[in-house]
Amino acid sequence: MEATSRPPDGPFGLLAELTYECPLHCPYCSNPLALADYREELTTAQWRRVLAEAAELGVLQLHLSGGEPLRRRDLVEIVHRAAERGLYTNLITSALGLSPRRAEQLRAAGLDHVQISVQADDPALSDRLAGTPSFERKTAAARLVKELGWPLTLNVVLHRHNIDRIDRVLALAEKLAADRVELANTQYYGWAWRNRRELLPSTDQLRRAEAVVRAARERLKGRMEIIYVLPDYHGRYPKPCMGGWGRRQLTVVPNGDVLPCPAAHALPLPRASVHEHSLAWIWERSPLFTRFRGTAWMPEPCRSCDRRELDFGGCRCQAFQLTGDAARTDPVCHLSPDHGIVVEAVRAAEEAVRADEGAVRADDDAVLPRGGVLTPRPHPSRPA
């Protein structure tokens, strides 16, 4: 099959990261470390233009995220403008700030769906991982979402400190009448990268979790959709980056930069910004979006691999994070010449998990996982 770099059709989804301000301090946050670079946020008028261009480009789904999108005072206006453009709108939120009044305003503006993050099923553990008391407000907001007739998705980022409670997390989702649950293993960028050694689960933990998910899917079939995203580091082959670099999705971050995926901030590539170009130009012609689109850019072993049109060489951000070269084969692939980096990271995690388990067994009163010291995500300052 001939290597290609042909521009695809228009993107299906737009992730609008409205602000990086957030009330939580999650140690697995994958947002950029240099938060000061994103203080100058797009204005309401600029977001209106972006939404209009997105609709013209063919975008169908708009995911409103951050940080915490509820921190934007113009969120209702943004939702209203998106609905006018015919975009299906999904609010991705910690739910801190989703008051009954704000929820009613968002519903009237045309919001279609709400996705609430949950750190764990246990209030104490959830609050510890979130870095602030939040569990009770999250569950209250989930009930409010259902009362107002929205579809509810619960999103749970999995790691060493909560993956063994996946059965209880699913029980919580069932209790809250969630329509959909996303169980996503941590992606190691930003603060999660700093905390990787303390977050990576063991192979045994993953094996137990997968068995629980299989049983729950069978039991809850037709009642609750369960999405389980396998962790990259324990896979044999890499996942396609966002369905392939610059193929289906784009991300607009608070300062107006446009990215092929949310983790591409750090890649040494020319930036693309809505301050300088239209979304159409960025999607079709910008060096950032065309650099790794298709298969023509691939080195060996990807170039001659039968899977090159399936996984597109894996994640470019992960390749850069682990090797310093975004054009390398994703090291999670067992065929990558750099696969040993991932093998060593998993081995270190196995040792750390065994140490954790030994510490908990030595203390019968232990309620929360011990683990190493997790560095919490700091609060960014509010833009002037």
Rg of the Cα atoms in the chain: 21
381: number of Cβ within 10 Å: 10
Identify whether the C-beta of residue 92 lies closer than 8 Å to the C-beta of residue 152: no
Distance of CA 312 to the CA centre of its chain: 20
Half-sphere exposure in the Cβ direction for 127 (13 Å, CA): 9
Secondary structure class of 185 (helix, strand, coil): strand
Q: Which domains does the chain have, with CATH numbers?
A: 13-229 (3.20.20.70)
Which residues have a Cβ under 8 Å from the Cβ of 288 and sit 6 or more positions away? 258, 259, 260, 264, 269, 270, 271, 272, 282
Report whether the peptide linkage leading into residue 301 is cis, meaning its omega lies within 30 degrees of zero.
Answer: yes
Annotation-wise, does 315 bind a ligand? Answer: no
The pLDDT of residue 1 is 37
The pLDDT of residue 272 is 97
Annotation-wise, does 241 bind a ligand? Answer: no
What's the average pLDDT block by block, 10 residues per block, for the chain (384 residues)?
53 96 94 88 98 97 97 98 98 97 98 98 97 97 98 97 97 98 94 92 94 97 94 89 88 97 91 97 96 93 94 93 95 96 92 74 44 60 41
Annotation-wise, does 302 bind a ligand? Answer: no
The pLDDT of residue 33 is 86
The secondary element (H helix, E strand) that includes residue 114 is strand 113-117
Of 254, 42, 24, 190, whose CA–CA distance to 117 is shortest? 24
The pLDDT of residue 365 is 41
The pLDDT of residue 35 is 83
